[in-house]
Structure 1
Amino acid sequence: MLFNSFGFLFIYLPVVLAGYAWLGRYGPRAAMAWLTVASLAFYGYWDVRYLPLLLASIAGNFWLARRLGAAAGAARRRWLWAGLGANLLLLGYFKYMNFFVLAIGTLTGQHGQPWAIVLPIGISFFTFTQIAFLVDCYRGAASEPGIVQYGLFVSYFPHLIAGPVLHHREMMPQFADPAQGRLRAANVAVGLSIFVIGLAKKTLIADNLSDMVAPVYAAGAHPQLVEAWIATLAYTLQLYFDFSGYSDMAIGLSRLFGVKLPLNFNSPYKARDISDFWRCWHMTLSRFLRDYLYVPLGGNRLGPARRYANLMVTMLLGGLWHGAGWTFVLWGGLHGLYLVIQHAWRGWRGGAARWWHQPLTLMAVMLAWVTFRAPDLATAADVYRALAGGAGLSLPHGLAASGQLFASLGLHPGFDGVRWIDFGGLGPPTLAVAAVLALWAPNTQEIFFHYEPAIERIFHAPTWRWLDWHPSPAWGVAMLTLFLGCLLSMNKVSEFLYFQF
């Protein structure tokens, strides 16, 4: 059941809200139990075969947390390693087994066949959430709560499928709040408005960019210069509006119940360096990789060489987290290399900002997205070759009259059309609007600044004062109009890109 589906909007969500309000009269535990059951039903709708897997993961980690809490000395370490091993084996089997089977087959020349394994949706998110919880229990920074609270913490439906990665210290106090179970008009107004903006990002922007991307990145497409650059820019914006749209929808849905989620985005394409980009893109995953991988490896405490090695290892594993394929490993490696270059440059030339830092960072990120999007390394190489001009230049038919001008510049492109880009469709104008919004407009958290939409308070009110959201008839009409536009565009429901991770 997708957030951008009629079944979710007009059946599931109203039923969950009504049950929450009704059971909330009997206390917060009843309301939390209802949300837990509703979240498990939401997961089971995708594939009921994997609901027992989620339940077993929740029960097993809850039991391990209790063992950790009761143990002392070396026994605590053994329980921790047992928990980490169990979680990583589960994730490794479902997500990476075929990757290793094919890699070993390639190395041995036996070309092994992939196993019939279906990836359970959301497994990366609920596994990482529980790994962080076990580690913090070991460190004494967390203790196992009641089973209802813990089950809701892991399975909470706004975050379960594509994040954000939750942290116990942020969520558990909210689930235990005595005010739970009461629907408040302010929360409903803020939550629905944020949800609608996220829905618009997905249905009106990201989905209209997909037709400019998929044909160019298909295996064997062999794009040319103009096609490759347009498609790469379109994917850069498609991925952002798809994932940030989902994250806004998750924040809005959770706010309906008076629960704030952590942020995942803070205008990452405005970043002035790669470190800043990773502080603003998929923020909860970046936090997890920093706190539970980079810092335990030694962080920046053991000298520059070790720091660079830690950065590379962290980003390579971060790339592999996104998908079991060499394209994701290469993408993570590119970002690791970017970070090493940035820190080396900063140590040599200092950290003063320059006007060209933002466009250079955006270009580096965009070029790395090629490997993230390509289905295999051969297709990625084709796209890179086209971006560099190695596949030739073909322009639309309408520019044929300018042939003399191009010839005077020493250029002799073909005018047989750009095969994969429909300049008469919604894609090109959507691309222009998306670029303006991503690079210059205030983000959702700034628009709702005065109503603290998420856990973090790292924003300021929008510079454009007319975009400062507040309950009013004008904003109500605007949100209703936007919602109706989204409904009219939902004739072809598409999945969120991050569901595959």
Structure 2
Amino acid sequence: MVFSSLEFIYLFMPPVFAVYLLLRYLKWETGIIWWLSIASLGFYAWWTPVYLPLLLGSLLVNYGLHRALLKMRSKALLIAGIAFNLALIAVFKYADFFIGNVNFFTNAELPMLHLVLPLAISFFTFQLISFLVDTYKGNITSCDFARYTLFVVFFPQLIAGPIVMQKETIPQFRLTNFQNKLLTNLAVGGTLFAIGLFKKIVLADGIAPYANSVFNLAETANGVPLEAAWIGALAYTFQLYFDFSGYCDMALGLARLFGIRLPVNFNSPYKATSISDFWRRWHITLSHFLRDYLYIPMGGNRCGPIQRYANLMITMLLGGLWHGASWTFVFWGGLHGAYLGINHAWGALCEKGYVPSLVPAWLGNLLARGITLLAVIVAWVFFRAQSFDGASGILAGMFGLSTVYEPELWTNVETATLSVWASLACLAAIVFFLPNAIEFTENYNPVLGLKKLLAQRKTEGFLPLRWRPSTGWAMAVSALFAVAMVQTYRLAEITEFIYFNF
């Protein structure tokens, strides 16, 4: 059951929200918290009931560790708790990856475990680790089990983030928050959900076949022609953008229906002027987690430039591995680590005045955005490709280096049409000229961290469209929702969000 499925929209949300309204009317704070927790566990069990005990077991063990850390600030206990959580990920997500590599490099024949990846294990495990670390640091003095449970399993963010910290959501689980501004919450939450649904079903899933066709071609053919390579790379670039931003919008909207504001997780990353800026905009909560719980504890930038670059590379390599048990993901992370190193080195040279300003500021800004986006697109090729051979085939085609390819396969792909380029142009216009959903609803405080987002936006140019609860906007948003729902009925099957696989 995904947010964009008919089961979720018609069978899950109506009863969950109806009971929430009843408990809200009764002013039963504990009842609301436990009802949302039970509903969230049911949402999780809909996928793979066999892994519900794993989630519950992890939840109980970590709460026990939390209580123990409150009584004795033992670093050994904290390390044991972190090791327990990482061991779960290692077994279920990376066991076969490590076994396969051992077999490859040593010619051993160790049997694969073939474990099915438990849904959301990467996300809820990171939240639990942060909870233990915050407890050890004294940032949490007490937390009742009901609010802790909802913090871990709250269904709008359980499956694919954002990765929330306890300080961001647990203080919101109060009756005053649940009872505040019901009509505004319904309007803002419904608007964000409708926008996200349209992004996912119409935009992301609409362009996905072109990306899939070209990347499949790269795995089976001897080469990919230039036009096909660029269509595939750009199609995936926009597919991932609208798929992930659509999920983030829907998660924000669903949480807001219950009066909860989640942290900002997506902020127009393709408008970034540098790779550092990109990571301040893309999967923001993951970036913050890696920074606060990995990069800074390793020394961050406090140990000189060489160690700083090493810390950056290690952080990004592990960030790549977090996304999937594949060397292509590791390489993607390493590529971004190299990008960040170059970015910081260039910034240091600019600060010292070694780089003269040869172009006007507006042109420099445009060039910076173009170079950053090109670097991101190249990295996405490794993120999407099933193998290094496939990624190499796409990149060779993009830069005109494919000397051998099979024309009949390219003919069968049927992507070299004017309509495809028109679709890509429309998607680009939406990305670069329209406000994102958070900016669109900014007057109604849609997320935590809104002030920082708005301050970052000052130098950007886009159409100043702003939503407000009016008849006109209600009709426009309803039209988006209706189009998305019609498309949902037409689909043979609902596709999962890309980040559900991580």
| TM-score, shorter chain, exceeding 0.5 | yes
Aligned with 1:371 (options 340, 359, 382)? 382
User: Could you tell me whether the CA contact under 8 Å between 1:28 and 1:181 is conserved in 2?
Assistant: no
- What's the counterpart of residue 383 of structure 1? 394
CA distance in 1, matches of 2:400, 2:189: 47
**Residue 442 (structure 2) pairs with residue 449 (structure 1):** yes
C-alpha displacement of 1:144: 4.2
C-alpha distance in structure 2 between counterparts of 1:295 and 1:14, whole Å: 44
Q: Deviations over 1:353-409 (max 9, x none)?
A: 6231110000000000011000112211221222222224999xxxxxxxxxxxxxx
* Matches of 1:435 and 1:258, distance apart in 2: 33
CA distance in 1, matches of 2:139, 2:420: 49
Paired position in structure 2 for 1:171: 169
Alpha-carbon distance change, 123 to 416 in structure 1, aligned in 2, over 3 angstroms: closer
Indicate which of 174, 194, 197 corresponds to 2:195.
197
- Matched letter for residue 435 of structure 2: P
Report the Cα offset of residue 113 of structure 1.
4.4
**CA separation of 1:390/1:146 partners in 2, compared to 1, >3 Å: closer, same or farther?**
same
Alignment of 1:89-108 (within 5 A): 89-108=87-106
Give the aligned partner of residue 204 of structure 2: 206
Please give the per-residue CA displacement for 1:233-261, whole angstroms capped at 9, x wherever unaligned.
11111101000100000000000000000
Following superposition, the deviation at residue 428 of structure 1 comes to 3.9
Task: Describe the shift of the 1:465–1:274 C-alpha distance in structure 2 as closer, same or farther (beyond 3 A).
Answer: closer
Runs of 4+ aligned structure 1 residues displaced above 6 Å come to 414-417, 461-466
From the superposition, tell whether residues 416 and 19 of structure 1 become closer, same or farther in structure 2 (CA, over 3 Å). closer
Number of aligned positions between the proteins? 480
Q: Which moved more, 1:208-217 or 1:432-441?
A: 432-441
CA contact (8 A) 1:271 1:358 kept: yes
Q: Is the 8 A contact 2:228 2:410 kept in 1?
A: no
Give yes or no for the alignment of 1:430 onto 2:423.
Answer: yes
Partner of 2:42: 41
The corresponding residue for 1:232 is: 233
Amino acid at match of 1:122: A
Partner Cα distance (2:192, 2:376) in 1: 27
The structure 2 residue matched to 1:358, chosen from 344, 350, 369, is 369
CA separation in 2, counterparts of 1:181 and 1:389? Answer: 60
Counterparts of residues 70-89 of structure 1 (less than 5 Å): 70-72=71-73, 76-89=74-87
SS at 2:296 equivalent: helix
> Shift of residue 114 of structure 1?
2.7
Amino acid at match of 2:62: N
Alpha-carbon separation, structure 1, partners of 2:174 and 2:387: 46
* Distance of aligned partners of 1:426 and 1:66 in 2 relative to their CA distance in 1, 3 Å threshold: farther
Judged with a 3 Å threshold, the aligned counterparts in structure 2 of structure 1 residues 226 and 94 are, in CA distance, closer, same or farther, namely same
Shift of 1:482: 0.8
Q: CA deviation at 1:342?
A: 1.0
Residue 42 of structure 1, CA deviation: 0.2
Greater CA deviation, 424-433 or 255-264? 424-433
Cα distance between partner residues in 2 of 1:88 and 1:390: 42
**Partner SS state of residue 296, structure 1:** coil
Per mean C-alpha deviation after superposition, the further-off stretch among 373-382 and 328-337 is 373-382
Deviations 1:456-477 (A, max 9, x none): 1234499767621001110111
Distance 1:489 1:207, change over 3 A: same
Conserved? CA contact 1:28–1:176, under 8 Å: yes
| Identical positions, percent | 44
- Decide which moves more: 350-359 or 23-32: 350-359
| CA spacing shift, 1:109–1:417, aligned 2, 3 Å | closer
Partner amino acid, structure 1, of 2:430: L
Aligned to 1:249: 250
- Secondary structure, counterpart of 2:230 in structure 1: helix
Distance 1:374 1:264, change over 3 A: same
TM superposition shift of 1:29: 1.1
Structure 1 position 339 matched with structure 2 position 350? no
Q: Distance in 2 between matches of 1:365 and 1:121?
A: 27
Aligned to 1:389, what secondary structure does the other structure show? coil
Counterpart code for 1:242 = D
Length-normalised TM-score, structure 1? 0.92
In 2, the alpha carbon distance for the partners of 1:223 and 1:416 equals: 9
1:279-318 to structure 2, matched below 5 A, reads 279-318=280-319
- Closer, same or farther: CA 81–466 of 1 in aligned 2, 3 Å: closer
Structure 2: runs of 5+ lacking an equivalent: none
Number of the residue aligned with 2:4: 4
Q: Tell me by how many angstroms 1:86 deviates.
A: 0.5
Cα distance in 1 for residues equivalent to 2:368 and 2:53 = 49
CA drift at 1:430: 2.9
Deviation larger for 106-115 or 189-198: 106-115
Report the counterpart of residue 68 of structure 1 in structure 2.
69
TM-score between the two structures when normalised by the length of structure 2? 0.91
Between stretches 18-27 and 79-88, larger displacement belongs to 18-27
- Determine the structure 1 residue equivalent to 2:123: 125
Shift in alpha-carbon separation, 1:372–1:150, aligned structure 2, 3 A: same
Q: Deviations over 1:64-120 (max 9, x none)?
A: 000000014xxx112101110100000110010011000101110235443220000
User: Which structure 1 residue ranges, 5 or more long, are not aligned?
Assistant: 396-413
| Structure 1 residue 287, shift from structure 2 partner | 0.3
User: Which residue of 471, 480, 483 maps to 2:481?
Assistant: 483
Structure 2 CA distance for partners of 1:464 and 1:271, relative to 1, 3 Å: closer
